[in-house]
Amino acid sequence: MHAATFFTGLFSALKPRNALALAVLGTILSAILAGCGGPPAPRKQPVSLEPAATSRTTTQAGTQTNTASNTYPNSFPNSFPSAGTNPYAGTFDAYDPPAPLGSPIIDTPPRPAGAITITLLLPMSSADENVRALANTLLQAAQLALFDVARPELLLRVQDTSGTPVGAQTAARTALAASTDLIIGPLFATSVQAIAPVLAGSRVPALAFSNDRSVASRNIWLLGFIPEDNIDRAIAQTIGQGLTRFGALLPEGAYGERLGRTLDERITRYGGELVQVEVYPPDAPGMFEPVKRLAQYETRRAAHGAEMARLEAEATLLAPPDTASDKLFDSIRDIAPELVSNYETLKRVETLGEIPYDAVFMPEGGLALRNLAPLLPYFDVDPRRVKFVGTGLWDDPELGQEPPLHGGWYAAPDAGLWRKFSDHYADKFQTRPARLASIAYDSVALAARLAAVHATAPFRPQTLTDPNGFAGIDGILRLTPNGLAERGLAVHEIQRKKTVLISPAPASFVERDRRMQAALALAATLQTQRAGLPQEARGLETTPIAPFSPPAPRP
């Protein structure tokens, strides 16, 4: 199927429907890709929904206004009306969502005159059924954005990567041969790595879905939710609330090693201390011993037993001779009430002694987290006294059903716009989108915005890496010269019936940078205070923990 014909059919099927749908669409678009960082410069004006692009003129007062122009002549085979009208301001309920594409699209038609071409690299024919379903969701989210922004100069094409590095290279070469202006995708880190040499000699950038920062390169930006950003936000928030000593439970393998290094670095950066790290295997039974070690259970249980024995010995000296052991403390209740109270309090627990950390970091989500979290209170790590901290993988409503995680904190985007987008998507495609769908939507909407305000070369590195950033469904976003994307995240708390926002996401990068400066100032204060304290006063072990390094392989 020809890509141009495919998307021409999409647009010709779009019809407005009702006022409610218009309101939902308007709410989403009002927050999508508006420039961030204080009062917007003229080039940060909202994306115009008119079919023609805009140019800017300056009034005598020095302000800039938008006027229609023919910068992007309408040469599409479908029928767009003249500039100044918007026939697609509604939703497209009449449009039937396409079935997943089963083979690579390599028969690419000629590029229409004046078009700006965006090519999606997606694993449409992956051998994995779940991956194919995800690819189709990303495609539909991109289509939804293409309609919502209503920029007739944009041409959206799809190339199938088959979910393999070789397939990704072939798809990228085909896209370049068809003179694409921007690539969105691929999905997997190995595929991103594979297309890097293909794009190295071109000026075509790519916005990839991966979150593996090791595959970022000069003209490939990663829009996935990078775990390091989650850690940074969550750790800064936790230390800012006075919880400065951390324990950590990390999974075995490269992912755990990567997060361990980041955790050590960020805790130190913000003035905290990484007191203890334990690494656990993927199987649930293997998690017991690492959690037991983190809880220092044996040491604290031995201290408990010793104190119980001391109290019993003291009670024996005070009790009448020949008092039965089960009546020992009843017999001295009137003469030694404090001793009896201490004994009864200690009898209700199994351990004694302070845990040397204020918070425990656990990066995993899903089944691994559900297996891991209950073991902490099982070994007497009370979540009412020790804060459990996680990553965006905790952004799961079902975790409210896990009592050990109640009160736990994690960093993730604000959920408000995501819920609106999810409803908007479901209204069109009769199913809820995968979480990554917002990245596909924002990528196309970002491309539309840049095409609207930059008449020529809208995807230059200098344009993409605007220090003011952009705003989308998942909040503010700023692309950096090293191929990464900085985001403004919120911090949420898990509760029994809902997730509560405890620290909102920054509304601009000015605000984000100001928060960063405040966190670093606090870190300097904490480090100065700690330098003047003996180690025992900090509640640490006699020997400080060594910098994190990967554990030796298990026998």
Which residue ranges make up each domain of the chain? 3-56+101-224+415-488, 227-296+355-412+508-538, 297-347
pTM over 0.85: no
Residue 436 reports pLDDT greater than 90: yes
> What's the rounded mean pLDDT across residues 489-507?
94
The whole-number pLDDT of residue 184 equals 98
For the chain, what's the residue count?
Answer: 555
CATH class for the domain made up of 3-56+101-224+415-488: alpha beta
The whole-number pLDDT of residue 466 equals 93
Specify whether the CB–CB gap between 195 and 168 falls below 8 A.
yes
- Tokens at 108, concatenated: 């690419």
Please give the DSSP secondary-structure letter assigned to residue 373.
T
pLDDT grade for 531, boundaries at 50, 70 and 90 = confident
> What's the rounded mean pLDDT across residues 28-57?
35
Question: Residues with Cβ < 8 Å from 302, sequence gap 6 or more?
Answer: none
The whole-number pLDDT of residue 77 equals 28
The whole-number pLDDT of residue 30 equals 44
Number of H helices, E strands in the chain: 17, 17
The whole-number pLDDT of residue 249 equals 98
DSSP output for 204-232: --EEE----GGG-BTTEEE-S--HHHHHH
Please give the DSSP secondary-structure letter assigned to residue 327.
G
Residue 136 reports pLDDT greater than 50: yes
> What's the rounded mean pLDDT across residues 461-481?
94
pLDDT grade for 435, boundaries at 50, 70 and 90 = very high
Specify whether the CB–CB gap between 476 and 440 falls below 8 A.
no
pLDDT grade for 152, boundaries at 50, 70 and 90 = confident
Helix, strand, or coil here: 242? coil
Residue 66 reports pLDDT greater than 90: no
pLDDT grade for 98, boundaries at 50, 70 and 90 = very low
pLDDT grade for 150, boundaries at 50, 70 and 90 = confident
Residue 553 reports pLDDT greater than 80: no
The whole-number pLDDT of residue 19 equals 40
Which residue would you say has higher pLDDT here, 423 or 42? Answer: 423
Which residue would you say has higher pLDDT here, 26 or 282? Answer: 282
Residue 388 reports pLDDT greater than 60: yes
For 295-392, where are the alpha helices, taking DSSP H only? Answer: 297-318, 328-331, 337-347, 366-372, 375-378
For residue 87, the tally of other CB atoms under 10 A from its CB is 14
Residue 4 reports pLDDT greater than 80: no
Residue 91 reports pLDDT greater than 60: no
Question: Residues with Cβ < 8 Å from 419, sequence gap 6 or more?
Answer: none
Phi, psi of 131 (to 5 degrees): -70, -40
Domains 3-56+101-224+415-488 and 227-296+355-412+508-538 share a fold: yes
Q: Report d(CA 43, CA 37) in Å as an integer.
A: 13
The whole-number pLDDT of residue 457 equals 86
pLDDT grade for 296, boundaries at 50, 70 and 90 = very high
Q: Report d(CA 467, CA 96) in Å as an integer.
A: 40
Which residue would you say has higher pLDDT here, 52 or 406? Answer: 406
- Tokens at 78, concatenated: 């479908």
* Percent of the chain's residues with pLDDT above 70: 75
- CATH code of the domain made up of 227-296+355-412+508-538: 3.40.50.2300
The whole-number pLDDT of residue 535 equals 54
Which of 36-50, 104-118, 326-340, 355-369 comes out lowest in average pLDDT? 36-50
* Percent of the chain's residues with pLDDT above 90: 68
Residue 236 reports pLDDT greater than 60: yes
The whole-number pLDDT of residue 113 equals 65
Residue 52 reports pLDDT greater than 60: no
The whole-number pLDDT of residue 111 equals 57
Q: Report d(CA 246, CA 1) in Å as an integer.
A: 55
Question: Residues with Cβ < 8 Å from 521, sequence gap 6 or more?
Answer: none
pLDDT grade for 1, boundaries at 50, 70 and 90 = very low
Question: Residues with Cβ < 8 Å from 185, sequence gap 6 or more?
Answer: 120, 121, 122, 138, 161, 191, 206, 207, 208, 209
The whole-number pLDDT of residue 189 equals 95
The interaxial angle of helices 129-149 and 416-429, nearest 10 deg, is 100
> What's the rounded mean pLDDT across residues 378-390?
96
The whole-number pLDDT of residue 467 equals 92
The whole-number pLDDT of residue 79 equals 26
Which residue would you say has higher pLDDT here, 530 or 555? Answer: 530
Q: Report d(CA 118, CA 103) in Å as an integer.
A: 19
Residue 513 reports pLDDT greater than 90: yes
Question: Residues with Cβ < 8 Å from 519, sequence gap 6 or more?
Answer: 236, 239, 240, 270
The whole-number pLDDT of residue 536 equals 52
